[in-house]
Amino acid sequence: MDSNNKKHNHSSHNGHNDNHDKGHHNHIEHHKHMIADFRKRFWISAIITIPILILSPLIQQIIGYEIEFSFDSYILFVLSAIIFFYGGWPFLTGLADELKKKQPGMMTLIAVAITVAFGYSTATTFGLKGDSFFWELATLIDIMLLGHWIEMKSVVNASGALQSLIDLMPTEAHLFEDNNTRDVKIDQLKSGDTVLVRPGEKIPVDGKIVEGKSNINESMVTGESKPVSKTQNDKVIGGTVNGNNSLKITVEQVGEEAYLNKVIQMVREAQSKKSKTQHLADKIAFWLTIIALTVGFGTLTTWLVLGKSFVFALERMASVMVITCPHALGLAVPLVVAISTSVSAKQGLLIRNRTAFENSRKVSVVVFDKTGTLTKGNFGVTRFKSLSDSYTDQEILAMSGALEAESEHPLADGILRKVKEEDIEVPKVSDVETITGKGITGNVDGTKVKVVSPGYLEENDIEIPKKEKTDTVETIVFVLANDKLAGVIALADEIREESFEAVKMLKKKGLKLYMMTGDNINVAKKVSNKLQLDGYFAELLPDQKLDKLKIFQDEGEFVAMTGDGINDAPALAAADVGIAVGSGTDVAAETADIVLVNSNPKDIYSLLEFGEKTHRKMIQNFIWATAYNVVAIPLAAGVLISKGIMISPALGAVLMSLSTIIVAINAQLLKEGIK
């Protein structure tokens, strides 16, 4: 383990940003607030739209009624101004954000269209010749607000990862000085202080043991399922959990420098890199914006060059720019997203990051964590047998079960589960004592029974049966009755049944499958061979998992990473698609893009299949939504005006409604395609 510790210090650390963490705490509230805000803006705008439609000359023309009075156009203007500034506000601020990031997308497209519609219509209200687009403006804002509201509601907000990590770090420590202990805040500790860690407590700092011996559960950092026995001069990592004995530890790294804080930093960096990737809708909106502006100004210039009046040219330009922002596009993606997220949630997939889900069809390599993902993550008894004629196999399990019922050791759980499975009655036990670091002893029905490690047999010159010396994958304990070898119990982390099927299904898809684990090389090799994976990496710390993952990415692979522990968090955040197993830690779930609620590796296959279907639906919807543009833009620009064909705003309105309806129906078909 020491050799691994030497690797700890190579990840540099650049200033810990506390405000960032507090910000994360408020993130979920912020998300809820935004959903409520869009909902409120949508309903208020929708209500104001009703009188706008009633008063719009075009709608009157289509339906065939007439309402006119002296200042109707001014009422239209005032109502539309309210919708433009109140309903359109998120898009106008969104435009500013996108331009700041130099990533014009959906917000830019909507903002350009509504600004042109409002500006031009205002001019016509106050004297410019031409028809107003107020009803277009209002319905466009309504539909876009609805789309954004549906979408935000459907995607689980990705946040809190750093908060969950920070919560893992203890905040106080028992400082040991002048033979007394007092509780202090972690940030008051300095290098060289001594702290006391009681049984079952989290170790507060990175440091070195100066007194005591204990089993330490490091699975959160290393992923190794078996607690590690540590004694004087061994290093320990802050945040890991002390076992059954007290320890005194010299503080080496605290706060910023502590290993878990470096993991937090890795997660933060990976997340900020990832948030730069754009949704499909934004990419398409970017091109539509460019087309709208180019064709719009092109139309204006062309008509002016051809000698038409400025008013005519301006009307054509406004028509083009308003038509380019298709209502259907505002619903094309949100409807598909809403349906796909709700359908996948029913199937046990929680989608937290939409871009990663959209991209899941590109995955070429799947990397699995071992403990808790491919395996069950808990020690189970793989075999038990009597080595003495005096006892049956069942009795060996019963005697050890009697003792282990009194123990806090992680292996005890596995033995007790087996006792329950086999429906064995546990005999009475008395005088139970722990043999520090070696096992447990007690009186079972008058027999002095010990359940001990192989080390105890060596120390007491009891010969270990040959067969039990070789297999390093299992953890072996021996049962002694009156100091004579009576039986053996082997425990191991069992491979999940579903893992075998998952591997077969993913291989059929032509994917390369690898395993990365903090566990030892023998265990990794055995699991990898059993599952027939393409390869494995063992004894990795979180930063090393991240490095290995980056190597795959540098080779041009599109990587999906599946894990369940804190040790997987940096790699989950950096993977192209990070998939957390639901039975794992909050941290893993918070850093991943998608969470498998049922912890079933087979769900990875359904996820990739479903990601493909969803993407296909989105593309179909885009084609529908933009097909309308392809026809409408040239006609609005007046390409066929010489033939007497020019798209009237009325026809534009009908075409627009039609494409929106088609898109909505097509999104619903996604439900059918999944069953």
Q: Cα-atom radius of gyration of the chain, to the nearest Å?
A: 33
Look at residue 314 and tell me whether its pLDDT is greater than 60.
yes
Identify which has the larger pLDDT, 63 or 366: 366
Give residue 25's pLDDT: 46
- Highest mean pLDDT: which of 317-326, 433-442, 497-506, 581-590? 497-506
Residue partners of 278: CB distance under 8 A and separation at least 6: 103, 105, 355
Average pLDDT in the 426-446 region?
Answer: 84
- For residue 537, what are its two tokens? 């990496």
> 377-398, pLDDT tens digit by residue?
777 888 898 988 888 989 999 9
The lowest-confidence range among 69-83, 305-319, 460-474, 499-513 is: 460-474
pLDDT band at 575 (very low <50, low <70, confident <90, very high): very high
Tell me whether residue 393 is exposed, middle or buried, using C-beta atoms within 10 angstroms of its C-beta: 0 to 12, 13 to 18, 19 or more: middle
Highest mean pLDDT among 153-162, 234-243, 372-381: 234-243
| CA-angle at 667, arms to 661 and 670, nearest 5° | 150
- Mean pLDDT of all residues in 440-453: 89
Q: Which of 1-10, 413-422, 445-454 is least confident?
A: 1-10
Residue 294: pLDDT band (50, 70, 90) is confident
Instruction: Please state, in angstroms and rounded to a whole number, the distance separating the CA atoms of residues 2 and 121.
Output: 74
> Does residue 166 carry a pLDDT above 70?
no
Model pTM score: 0.67
pLDDT of 250 > 90? The answer is yes
Q: Which of 33-42, 263-272, 298-307 has the least mean pLDDT?
A: 263-272
Lookup: tokens for 269? 């960096």
More confident: 210 or 644: 210
pLDDT of residue 277: 54
Q: Calculate mean pLDDT across residues 60-65.
A: 74
Q: pLDDT tens, 412-421?
A: 888 888 888 8
Least confident of 125-129, 487-491, 511-515: 125-129
390-408 average pLDDT score: 86
Three-state secondary structure of 161-222: HHHHHHHHCCCEEEEEECCEEEEEEHHHCCCCCEEEECCCCECCCEEEEEECCEEEECHHHH
Residue 84's pLDDT is what? 94
Mean per-residue pLDDT, 415-430: 87
Which of the residue ranges 79-88, 527-536, 645-654 would you say has the lowest mean pLDDT? 645-654
Q: What DSSP assignment string belongs to 299-312?
A: HHHHHHHTT--HHH
Cα–Cα distance measured from residue 369 to residue 363, given in angstroms and rounded to the nearest whole number: 17
- Residues 458-477 have a mean pLDDT of 76
Q: Quick one: pLDDT at residue 64?
A: 74
- To the query of whether residue 369 is one of the catalytic residues in this protein, the response is yes
Eight-state DSSP code of residue 584 = S
Report pLDDT for 470.
Answer: 55
Lowest mean pLDDT among 158-172, 195-209, 306-320: 158-172
Q: Which residue has the higher pLDDT, 328 or 618?
A: 618
The pLDDT value given to residue 248 = 92
What pLDDT shows up at residue 453?
Answer: 83
Instruction: Please say if the pLDDT value at position 172 is more than 80.
Output: yes
Q: Is the pLDDT of residue 221 over 60?
A: yes
Distance between CA 561 and CA 198 in Å, rounded? 36
User: pLDDT tens-digit profile of 596-609?
Assistant: 877 788 888 988 88
Lowest mean pLDDT among 149-163, 417-431, 436-450: 149-163
- The yes-or-no verdict on residue 563 having pLDDT over 80 is yes
**What's residue 242's pLDDT?**
87
Convert 154-178 into a string of H (helix), E (strand) and C (coil): HCCCCCCHHHHHHHHCCCEEEEEEC
- Better-scored residue on pLDDT, 191 or 636: 191
Please state the length of the chain.
675
Q: Tell me which of 529 and 105 has the higher pLDDT.
A: 529
Residue 337 has pLDDT above 70, yes or no: yes
Q: How confident is the model at residue 532 (pLDDT cuts 50, 70, 90)?
A: very high
Q: Please, what is the average pLDDT of the chain?
A: 80
Quote the tokens at residue 428. Answer: 């009475």
What amino acid is encoded at 579 in this protein? I
Which of 241-245, 472-476, 555-559, 612-616 is most confident?
555-559
Q: Which residue has the tokens 């197993």?
A: 581
CA dihedral sign of residues 380, 385, 390, 391 = positive
Residue 675, pLDDT above cutoff 70: no
Which pLDDT value is given to residue 22? 47
Q: Among 142, 282, 369, 519, which one carries the catalytic annotation?
A: 369
The pLDDT of residue 670 is above 70: yes
Residue of 635 and 111 predicted with greater confidence? 111
In this prediction, residue 367 carries a pLDDT of: 94
* Nearest alpha-carbon partner for 227 in 583, 584, 571, 518: 518
Q: Which domains does the chain have, with CATH numbers?
A: 190-253 (2.70.150.10), 350-374+496-597 (3.40.50.1000), 377-494 (3.40.1110.10)
Higher-pLDDT residue of 264, 388: 388
Question: Is the pLDDT score of 16 beyond 60?
Answer: no
Question: Looking at residue 409, what DSSP letter applies?
Answer: -
CA distances from 398 to 418, 455, 500 (A): 10, 23, 32
User: Which region among 147-156, 343-352, 370-379, 552-561 has the lowest average model confidence (pLDDT)?
Assistant: 147-156
Least confident residue range of 112-126, 345-359, 387-401, 612-626: 345-359
What pLDDT sits at residue 47?
Answer: 95
Q: What is the largest CA-CA distance in the chain?
A: 113
Res 90: pLDDT? 92
| Per-residue pLDDT band at 57 (split at 50, 70, 90) | confident
Instruction: Choose between 341 and 503: higher pLDDT.
Output: 503
